[in-house]
Chain A
Amino acid sequence: MLDTRKEATTAVSVQGVSKVFGRGAHAVVALDKVSLEVQRGEFVCLVGASGCGKSTLLNLVAGLERPSVGTVTVGSDRTALLFQEAALFPWLTVGANVELALRLRDVARNERRDRAMELLDLVHLGDFFKHRPHELSGGMRQRVALARALAQEADVLLMDEPFGALDAMTRDILHDELERIWRERELSVLFVTHNVREAARLGDRVIVLTSRPGRVADEFTVDIERPRRIDSPPVSGLAARITDRLREEVASHGR
C-alpha cells in the first residue's frame, strides 16, 4: 500500500547504484552505492567537487549509460537532458531545432510549427523562430534548449551545469525563468551544479556528493520561501553551510 503511493509520487529513484569504468587494475569507481530520489514536482540539486560522478549519474538516469550495480527507475519515459552547452543543431533554425524534437516524438507535421512557436513563446523567444542558433547569445541558446526539452514533453528534466558558461546577470534571470517554467509545467528536476549558491537558490533539496568515488555525503532541505533571490541572506547562509560541508569533504582527499 505504502509502496504504490511511493511509486506514484516518485519521479526518479536511484537505488544502490554503482558505476565502474574499465576493469581490473585500471578500474575506476565513479559512483559507489548512490541512492537518491526525486519526488514528482520536486527540484533537487546535486553539488560536488570534481570527480564526484555528477555527469555519470545524470547519464545513468537519462538512460545513456547502464549502472554496474543497482537500479535506476524513472517514473516517466519522457526525460530530457540539458548540457552546459545548448547543443542545438547549427544547420537548423531555432524553430526547426524545436520542431525536430517534436518530429522525433512523432508529432504530426501540421501541428509541429504551432507547437514549436508556442514553446519558443514560453521562453520569450517567439521572435527568433527563424534565426540560426549562432545568432543568439549563450543564454538565449540555453532557453531554446529548454524549449526543445519541453518539446519532448519531458516531465523529468535532467540538467548538467546548464548555466555554468553564462555570466552572472544572465544566469540570475535564467534562474527566474527556469523556476517559472518548472512551476507552470510541474516538472521534476535533477540539477547538477558546482555552484552552491545556485543550488540553494533553486533547489527544494540539495544533495552533496563525495568525490572519487561519488557517494551521497549529505543532504540539505531548503526551507526558504519562493520566490528567492540568490543574494538574499537565507540563501547565502545555506550556501555557506553547504560550502563548509563540501570543503570538509574536499579536505579529506588531501590527507
Chain B
Amino acid sequence: MVVRGSTVVEAAQLEAEVAGLDALELAADDEPGRLARVWASLWPKLAAVVLFFGVWQLLVWTGWKEEYILPSPFTVMANFGSEASDSEFWDAIVRTMQRAVVGYALAVAVGSAIGAVVSRVSLLRRAVGSMITGLQTMPSIAWLPLAVVLFTLSERAIMFVVILGAAPSIANGLITGIDHVPPLLLRSGKMLGAGRLGLYRHVILPASLPAYVHGLKQGWAFAWRSLMAGELLVIVAGHPSIGTKLQYSRDFSDYPGLYSWMIVIFVLGVVADSLFGKVDSAIRRRWGLIDSAS
C-alpha cells in the first residue's frame, strides 16, 4: 500500500475543519444567573397580587357594597390568620387534598388504561374515540345528581364525579400522543431492529409523553373543578372539607370566611397548576420543543 505523505496532514486538517464548523454552528448562549431568572419570573406575579389587592381595596372604598358583605382585604387576611390557627382549617384542607389525590390517581389509572386500549384497537377507537372527546365537554356538575342517586351522599359520589371529570382528558392525551408519533421515528426504530414490543417501549411511549403530560395537566384541572363542585353539593356528615367550609361560610353569613376559603381554593389551584406546568415545560425543553430563550 502506498502511503501518501499528505494523508496524515489531510486527516488532521479535516478534523480541524469539522471542529471549527461545529463551534461556529453552535450559537454561544450566555444564560443569566439563577437568582436573576427566579426574580424575573417572580416579580410580575407579585405585582399582580399587589394590583389585585389594590383594586379590591379601592372597590371597598367606593362603598359599592356594605362592608360586612365586601370586607377590606385586611379584614379578610386577619380572618384568614385566625382560621389558619384552627386545626379544623387544616383538617378540611387535608381531607380535600386527599380526595383530590386519590380521585386523580384513580382517574389517571382509568384514563390511561382506556387510552392505551383504545389507541391499539382500531375498531374500538372508531366506536368510542369521539365519545371520549364528547365526555370531555360534559360539565362535571351535570354528573352530580346521578352520582348522588347511585352512591347517596358519600365519598364515593365525589370520587365518581372526579374520575368522570378527569379520565377523558387523560385518555385523550394518551391517544393523541400515540397517534402523533412521527412516522420517521417509527421507521428509524424499526431500522434499528426494534420489534413490536421494543417499538412500544423505546419509541411510541416516550414519543407520546408530551401529549400525555398535557392530558394529565388538563385532567388535573378537570379533577379539581369536579371536586369543588362535588364538595359544595355532596356534604358528607362529619367530613369537613374546603367545599363544605365554603358553603357553611355563606350559610352562616361569615363573609370574611367565604373570601378566605376562596383564596385557599385559588392558591391550591395555582400551586398544583404550576407544578404541572413545570413538568410540562421541563419535558418540552429537554426535547427542544421550546427555545431555551423563552
Contacts and interface: CB of A to CB of B under 8 A. Distances in A.
A170 B24 CA distance: 11
A62 B192 CA distance: 11
A49 interface: no
Which among B21, B192, B206, B207 has the greatest number of chain A C-beta atoms within 10 A?
Answer: B192
Contacts of A62: 191
Contacts of A139: 21-22, 25
Contact of B26 (A81, A83, A136, A170): A136
Given A132-B286, A132-B288, A152-B193, A104 B198 contact: yes
B191 A64 contact: yes
Contacts of A88: 188
Contact of A170 (B21, B184, B185, B188): B21
A227 interface: yes
B18 interface: yes
B194 interface: yes
A227 B10 contact: yes
Interface in A154-212: 169-170, 173, 176-177, 180
Nearest to B206: A91
A77 B11 CA distance: 31
Given A134-B287, A169-B21, A180 B11 contact: yes
B120 interface: no
B187 interface: yes
Given A85-B184, A89-B203, A140-B25, A104 B193 contact: yes
Contacts of B10: 227
B187 A83 contact: yes
Interface in B64-112: none
Contact of A173 (B14, B198, B202): B14
Contact of B287 (A80, A90, A176, A227): A90
Given A124-B15, A152-B193, A87 B25 contact: no
B202 to A, nearest CB: 6
A140 B26 CA distance: 10
Nearest to A102: B192
B19 interface: yes
Contacts of B194: 104
A91 B21 contact: no
A231 interface: no
Interface residues on B, range: 20 to 34
A148 interface: yes
A20 B269 CA distance: 57
B206 to A, nearest CB: 5
Interface size class of A (residues with CB under 8 A): 35 or more
Interface string B197-218: 0100011001101000000000
Given A101-B192, A227-B10, A137 B203 contact: no
A152 B286 CA distance: 26
Contacts of B288: 90, 132-135
Nearest to B210: A91
B26 to A, nearest CB: 7
Interface in A124-147: 124-125, 132-137, 139-140
Interface in A81-138: 81, 83, 85, 87-92, 100-101, 104-105, 124-125, 132-137
B273 interface: no
A170 B206 CA distance: 31
B132 to A, nearest CB: 26
B17 interface: yes
Nearest to B24: A137
B239 interface: no
A132 B292 CA distance: 12
Interface in A57-78: 62, 64
Interface in B152-186: 184-185
Given A91-B206, A148-B192, A64 B187 contact: yes
Contacts of B188: 83, 87-89
B190 interface: yes
Interface of A: 62, 64, 80-81, 83, 85, 87-92, 100-101, 104-105, 124-125, 132-137, 139-140, 148, 152, 169-170, 173, 176-177, 180, 227
14 contacts: A80-B191, A88-B188, A89-B185, A89-B202, A89-B203, A91-B286, A91-B287, A124-B19, A124-B22, A137-B22, A139-B22, A176-B14, A176-B17, A177-B18
Given A88-B188, A89-B206, A134-B287, 15 more contacts: A64-B187, A80-B191, A90-B288, A91-B207, A101-B192, A104-B194, A104-B198, A134-B288, A136-B26, A139-B22, A140-B22, A140-B25, A152-B193, A173-B18, A180-B14
The 8 closest A-B pairs by CB, nearest first: A134-B288, A137-B25, A87-B188, A90-B287, A104-B193, A91-B206, A81-B191, A124-B18
